[in-house]
Structure 1
Amino acid sequence: MTSPALASALRRVDAVFGGTTAPAGGCLHCYGAEELALLAVPWAPLGDDLVRQFFHEEPGHFDDHPAVLRRLLPEFLAYVVDGRFSGMGYGPAGLGRVRWQEWPAEQADAIASFLDVWWREALVDPAPVYGVGAVWELCVEIHRSLAPVHDVWAAAPRGGTEDRHLGDWVAYRIDDLLQDDSCVMPWYVDLDGVLLPGLQTWLVEHAVPRLAGHPDPLLARKVALLALGEEERWVAYSELVASAG
C-alpha cells in the first residue's frame, strides 16, 4: 500500500506533469507510428511496457527527449511505486540523461521531492519491494550525485533498519569497492571517475561506525581499508584475512 507521503509526492508529480505532451516524432525502426503518436495525446495511457521502454530509451530516439520524459513521469512513477517494475536497474534511466534540475523550479522540485520521499521510505522499510540497492541506484542515477541520497543515510539514527540495509548493501558490494570497480555505480553516472572515490570516502566515514555490530566481524574493517591506496590496501587486506584465520 502506498504511504500517505508517497501518495502526496505522486499527486504533486501528476499536478505538475499530468497532461503534458511531446512531439510524436521518433525512431520508426524501434517503435510504431501509432505508439509515438500517443506522446502527443494528453493523458493517453501508454501502458507498463511502453512507458518503461520510452523512459529508458536512448535520447536520439525522440525528436524532443526532455519533453518525452515530462510526458512519461506521472505514469512511470506510479508504475514504479505500485511495485510492478520488474526490471529496476536493467538500463540507464532517462532522467539521468537530461538536466532536469535546470527545468522550471516547480518541475524540478516535484521530481526531487518524489525521490527524497521514495528513498526515505525504502530505508525504513524492512523489506522494500525492489530492495534498497535498486532504489539507491535509480536515485543516484537520476540525481547524478551521491549527496541527496547519502545525506539522508548519514542522518538516520544509529541501530535502525537503515543500518541493516547499509550493512547488506556494503556486504554485497565490498569486493567491488576494494577493487575500485566502477560497476558499483549506476549506468553512465560516473564516466569521469569522481563519484566512486566519493562513495568510498563516505563509506569510510559513515559506514564503519554503523557496521560495528554486523554479523560479519571483518566487514567494518574491510570498509576501513578503502581509505588506503591500492598497494597498501591489498597488503592490509591480506594481513586482515590471515589474522582472521
Structure 2
Amino acid sequence: MPSVPHRLTTALDALDRAFAAEEPFPVGGCGYCYTEQDLAQLSGPLHLIPDNVLSSAAAKTPDHWDDFARLYRRLVPRIVRPMIMGRLHIDEELIASRLCQAEWTSWDAPLTAALGDVWSAWWETTLHTHPSPVPVRPTLAVIGVTTGSLRPWLTTWAATRHPAADAHLADLLDDVLYEGEITDLHMGFYEEYYATPELLGWLLTDVRERAGDPRLDAPYLRELLSTVVRDTE
C-alpha cells in the first residue's frame, strides 16, 4: 500500500491527466480587469499561463467571464495543486466557493472522481502531517464546502490515531473556541456553509475524551448542540 504522501502525489498526477482533456478555448472576459494579452494567455496552453494571471482568474467572480464554469474547469489542475501545497496565496475558502459556483459536481464523471480522490488523499495526508502546508481548518473547509458535508471527513479524523491528527485537533479547538466562534461557525468565502451542527456535535461526542479540553465542558455548548440539532431536524 503506498504511503499517504505518495497517494496525494498520485492523486494530483491523476487529476492532471483527467483534466488534460479540457482543451484550450477562446476566453472572453472583463476588459477592465484583463488585457487582450491576459485573455490570450488564458486561451492558450495551460502550463504557459503566468502565475499572476492564473491567480487572478482563480479568484475573480463568475461575472468576469463569458463562460466561467468552462474556464474554471480547465484551470483546476493549476489551481488545486499549488493550493494544497500552500503556494497559491489565495484564501482556500474562496477557491471552495468558486468551485461550487462552477458546479463542479455536475462535471463529467472522470473529472469529479479525480478531484474527489484528491480531496481524500489531501485530507489523509493532512491528518498525518503536522504542521501541514495548509492548516487543518481551511483544509476541512475546502473539502467540506465542496462536497456538501463535514461528517465523512470528521469520521475519518476520529478514526485516525496519529500524533499529527491529535495536534491538528488541538489547533482546531484553539481556533473555533476562541471567543466562542463555534457557536455560529460558517465555512466558505461567503459563509455559505453552516458548520456548527456537525462540528460541535463531533467535538462533544466522537472526540470529546481525546481532545481533553475542559472548555468543551461549558454547559452552554451542550445547550447549543441540543438547539441546533433540533433546528436542523
For Structure 1 versus Structure 2, the TM-score category normalised by the shorter chain is 0.7 to 0.9
Aligned with 2:174 (options 147, 168, 171)? 171
Aligned positions, number: 221
Cα deviation code 1:87-114 (max 9, x no counterpart): 4437354213232122111110000101
CA distance in 1, matches of 2:47, 2:207: 45
Partner residue of 2:5? 3
Structure 1 counterpart of 2:154, which letter? Answer: H
TM-score normalised over the length of structure 1: 0.78
- Report the alpha carbon displacement of residue 177 of structure 1 after superposing the two structures with TM: 4.5
Unaligned runs of at least 5 residues, structure 1: 233-245
Deviation above 6 Å: which 4+ runs of structure 1?
none
Deviation, structure 1 residue 179: 6.2
Partner of 1:53: 56
**Distance in 2 between the 1:103 and 1:89 partners?**
21
User: What corresponds to 1:161 in structure 2?
Assistant: 164
Tell me the residue number matched to 1:119: 123
Confirm or deny that 1:228 pairs with 2:223: yes
* CA gap 1:72/1:179 in 2 versus in 1, 3 angstroms: closer
Aligned 8 A contact 1:89 1:138 in 2: yes
1:134 partner amino acid: P
Q: CA deviation at 1:44?
A: 4.5
1:149 to 2:153 alignment? yes
Amino acid at match of 1:77: V
Partners of 1:130 and 1:73 in 2: how far apart? 18
- Identify if the C-alpha distance between structure 1 residues 179 and 43 changes in structure 2 by more than 3 Å, giving closer, same or farther: closer
Q: Is contact 1:124–1:161 with CA below 8 Å preserved after alignment?
A: yes
Taking structure 1 as reference, are residues 76 and 179 closer, same or farther at Cα in structure 2, changes over 3 Å only?
Answer: closer
Cα deviation, residue 33, structure 1: 1.9
| Aligned ranges 1:99-114 → 2 under 5 Å | 99-114=103-118
Structure exhibiting the larger radius of gyration computed from Cα positions: 1
- SS of 1:120 mapped into structure 2: helix
User: Higher relative contact order at CA 8 Å, sep ≥6: structure 1 or structure 2?
Assistant: 2
SS of residue matched to 1:63? coil
CA RMSD in angstroms comes to 2.7
Identity of aligned residues (%): 25
SS of 2:207's equivalent in the other structure is helix
SS in 2 for 1:30: coil
SS at match of 1:206: coil
Structure 2 unmatched runs, 5+: 228-233
